[in-house]
Structure 1
Amino acid sequence: MFSEIKQYLATVLAEYSGGDGYEILLKAKDEYFALTGTIHEENDEYEHKMNCFNDWFLLHYSTEKNGASIICDYLFRKEAPKEIMDVFKAPNYALFEFKKTNSKNQVVLKDVLHDKTILLPEMKIGLIEDDLFIGRTLTLDTERNYLMKGICVLPQDAKSVCAKQAKRVRKLHVPTEETTFLLTLEFLKTKWLRYGRHIDAKKIFVF
């Protein structure tokens, strides 16, 4: 199913990368950059930022009155199989810590926001142990998870304050507060980058 998930993501993104859907994509991009801060194309973080935007656009952005995400609306119109629809209906948008690769070559993530462990199949994750990042996982079944491409790695100096704030947000049990918190983290990361990374991140990541 991993290959099917990748194909659906690529197909839907391609549909909005030209033609009538392109204006929707551009409007969404403006909204996302307003929420998380602007990074220019020459910045070495730009590709990561665009990967995060693509994930947000596909899984969270909506033009429908019923609130359906871009990808769920597409799958409904194309009458995709129910098991595919279910995967995309409930993306796990969270603050993660990369713990290790275990003896079974599974990637072990700590979902800091929801206080749970997530296992991923063997993959090149491009992170080092203890890295804290914002991202999204999709649950394929009880034993298989898929990590989306968009990853926003946070500065190590801000790790403790971000983890503490995640715990406070978790106790609220309000999904919209979680989303606001995660988008705020992305905004603060962008702000930190604008200062040239030479400022103590704890002075930027203030809640």
Structure 2
Amino acid sequence: MGDLYALDFDGILCDSCGESSLSAVKAAKVRWPGLFDGVDSKLEDWIVDQMFIIRPVVETGYENLLLVRLLLEMRLPSIRKSSVAEVLTIEGILENWSKLKPVIMEEWDEKREPLVDLFGKVRDEWMEDDLATWIDANRFYPGVADALKFASSKVYIVTTKQGRFAEALLRELAGVMIPSERIYGLGTGFVCFLPVDVEK
């Protein structure tokens, strides 16, 4: 039968931090337009730079929007609407994100699903308007494309990224065709199987 590999995508196969950060800024400007009045490209660049540092805390893409807004509140005290921004640092985000996230979600009156939908919509629009720049904001780690192309085992992708984005990057950037039925992304209802002690 051969081996079967189930691989995560972001941070394992593909460095998507640039794209996810830029998409998050675009989406945050749609979600909270008033907060971005007067925000110049220099501040946006600073936010994207900080996102490269704090990106490891993100489990699901929509969290990038929350981080973008939190960074904006850190830099602009006049727009603060969260109780945590005043005392927050980059290190504090890295150490405490799982505790901070529910606090800001409640204080900003945000729900997960609308943010997931918005993040996906912004990415779809970017791809439709300018696929080349969306693709160029990502990169596969060295050797990954060849490893996937020449794999003798069956490869599955299991990711919290929406499957259509992983599939597009595999096809357009790595030149790899993995059937969509072997890409389990956000919203596909995949189940994570953990090792089980069969003797119990």
Q: TM-score, normalised by structure 1?
A: 0.29
Larger fraction in helix: 2
Larger fraction in strand: 1
Larger radius of gyration: 2
Q: TM-score, normalised by structure 2?
A: 0.30
